[in-house]
Amino acid sequence: MTPVLQTRNLSKRFGGFFASKDVSLSIEPGARHALIGPNGAGKTTLINLLTGFLEPSAGEVFLKGEDVTRLAQHQRVKRGLVRTFQINRLFAEMTVLESVTLSVCERLGLGWSWWRPVGDHTAAIDEAAELLATLRLLDVAHEQTRSLAYGRQRMIEIALALAARPQVLLLDEPAAGVPTDESRELFETIAQLPRDVTIVLIEHDMDLVFRFAERISVLVGGALLTEDVPEVIAKDRRVREVYLGEALDG
């Protein structure tokens, strides 16, 4: 099977400092893949490189076999590679339904349509409402995004990405800052996503990672330390040293 997402010797240098170093990664279709590593290991940077948010200093990114290294962010999104952000990037003054409709409209290629009002694009609105229903956000559909509690906002962060109908979804610490019970709900939602969506997840809570992921890659100092199934990773001495030890201490 061709990997749905693959990198070859991907590197990113800030001045003299490597935030990503020679990362070669390969992710199978339908994977539930976790990316772990201590703070500053370069996990977010890697997602930035994959999605085109940052330009790599060296190396390539392949999506479904196609070299997308030179493509702009929105072009990669059109090809099915979608991310969420570690720190919310939402449309503060729109209602929740408007935000998600915006994302649906972009996916449907309606972004240039300027004559008919949004309200007349019934298909887009219905789809947005349906998505809100799955994410249990219907009750706040007409609320302004900025007026919502953080946990709900985190959910909208994911809704915006799902509205783009990702084939590969990159989630950067989706539950960061969310209260425990809400974070469980959030992960249930993620776990219920269909198998034709490949998921790459960055997460610090090891319980969640081991419950969710089928493969785990460990990043340290920008470089890939190892990659394997959770059982092996859990026993890996180097991983325990650089990562788990620290997590247990902290």
Partner 1 sequence: MTPAKLDLSPLRRAAAWRPAEYAFWLLPVAAFFLFPKSLALLSQIAITALFCLSLDLILGYAGIVSLGHAAFFGLGAYAAGLMAKYGWGDPLLGLAGAAVMAAAAGFLTSFLVLRGTDLTRLMVTLGVSMMLYEAANKLTDFTGGVDGLQGVDIQPVLGMFSFDLYGKTAYWYSVAILFVMFWLARRLVHSPFGLSLRGIRQNVGRMPAIGAPVNARLVAAYTIGAAYAGIAGALLTQTTQFVSLDVMAFSRSAELLLILVLGGTGSLYGALIGTMVFMAAHHFLSDINPQYWQFWLGAALVLIVLFARDGIMGLLRKLSTRARTSS
Ligand X SMILES: Nc1ncnc2c1ncn2[C@@H]1O[C@H](COP(=O)(O)OP(=O)(O)O)[C@@H](O)[C@H]1O
Instruction: Dig out the tokens for 83 from the structure.
Output: 């991310």
In the block, tokens 């034709």 appear at 196
- Decide: is 141 part of the binding site for partner 1 (CB under 8 A): yes
- Decide: is 45 part of the binding site for ligand X (CB under 6 A): yes
- Decide: is 44 part of the binding site for ligand X (CB under 6 A): yes
Alpha-carbon distance of 47 to 15, in angstroms, equals 19
Q: Under rule CB under 8 A, which residues in 196-235 are in contact with partner 1?
A: none
- Which conformational region is residue 223 in: left (phi greater than 0), alpha (psi within -120 to 50 degrees), or beta? beta
CB of 21 to ligand X, least distance (A): 11
CB nearer to partner 1: pick between 95 and 226? 95
Residues in the chain, total = 250
- Which conformational region is residue 173 in: left (phi greater than 0), alpha (psi within -120 to 50 degrees), or beta? left
Alpha-carbon distance of 107 to 86, in angstroms, equals 22
Structure letter (DSSP) for residue 241: I
CB nearer to partner 1: pick between 127 and 208? 127
- Decide: is 51 part of the binding site for partner 1 (CB under 8 A): yes
Q: Under rule CB under 8 A, which residues in 19-38 are in contact with partner 1?
A: none
CB nearer to Mg ion: pick between 44 and 145? 44
In the block, tokens 């960055």 appear at 202
Q: Which of 5, 21, 42, 132 binds ligand X (CB under 6 A)?
A: 42
Q: Which of 97, 169, 175, 206 binds partner 1 (CB under 8 A)?
A: 97
By the 8 A CB rule, do 163 and 107 touch? yes
Alpha-carbon distance of 218 to 242, in angstroms, equals 10
- Decide: is 10 part of the binding site for ligand X (CB under 6 A): no
CB of 163 to partner 1, least distance (A): 7
- Decide: is 192 part of the binding site for ligand X (CB under 6 A): no
Instruction: Dig out the tokens for 127 from the structure.
Output: 């789809």
- Decide: is 47 part of the binding site for partner 1 (CB under 8 A): no
- Decide: is 111 part of the binding site for ligand X (CB under 6 A): no
- Decide: is 44 part of the binding site for Mg ion (CB under 5 A): yes
CB nearer to ligand X: pick between 36 and 169? 36
Alpha-helical (H) ranges within 16-121 are: 43-51, 73-78, 96-107
- Decide: is 45 part of the binding site for Mg ion (CB under 5 A): no
Site of interaction with ligand X (CB under 6 A) = 14, 19, 37, 39-45
